[in-house]
Amino acid sequence: MADGLRSLRWRAAIMLVGAGLVVAWVAMSGRMSYVIQIDYTWSRGFLDSAAVEIDGEVVGVLESYAEGVDVTGFRVEPGEHVVRVLREGCEGVPDTVTLGTASGRLASFMADVDDGVRCRVLLR
């Protein structure tokens, strides 16, 4: 009887440790964070290294991480955010996105350059 209880305790301990490792893995993998992602494949050469402004503050630049992967992500807090891509000589047109439990954890934009009358960087 004592051996049976001891093996049950070991199984319960192993299951608790395993569950703790799964929770830690999910938390550290970024699955619980909110991300604004900008894909600039259409204007790759022109927008590479362009600054990204979120809520009036420059948070980073668009940069390619591998050949053909022209997507950059920025972690943000949940809520409403105003996003704009800044490029010298072009007007950045702001766009607004809301992230949260009802609206999701990921917002994805496509950055494009409208070079008609004046140069503008658009988020679609």
Q: Could you give the dihedral angle defined by the CA atoms of residues 63, 78, 95 and 111, in that order, rounded to the nearest 10 degrees?
A: 20
Are residue 70 and residue 115 in the same domain, yes or no?
A: yes
57 and 103 co-located in one domain: yes
Reported as a pLDDT band with limits 50, 70 and 90, residue 27 is: low
Co-location of 49 and 108 in the same domain: yes
One domain, residues 4 and 43:
no
Contacts of 14 (CB under 8 A, 6+ apart): none
Question: Over 90: is that where the pLDDT of 6 sits?
Answer: no
Mean pLDDT of 81-91: 92
Same domain as 28, residue 38: no
Q: Which phi and psi angles does 57 have, rounded to 5°?
A: -125, 130
Q: Could you tell me which residues come within 8 angstroms of residue 111 by beta carbon, excluding any fewer than 6 positions away?
A: 38, 39, 40, 42, 43, 47, 50, 62, 85, 121, 122, 123, 124
Whole domain around residue 20: which residue ranges?
1-32
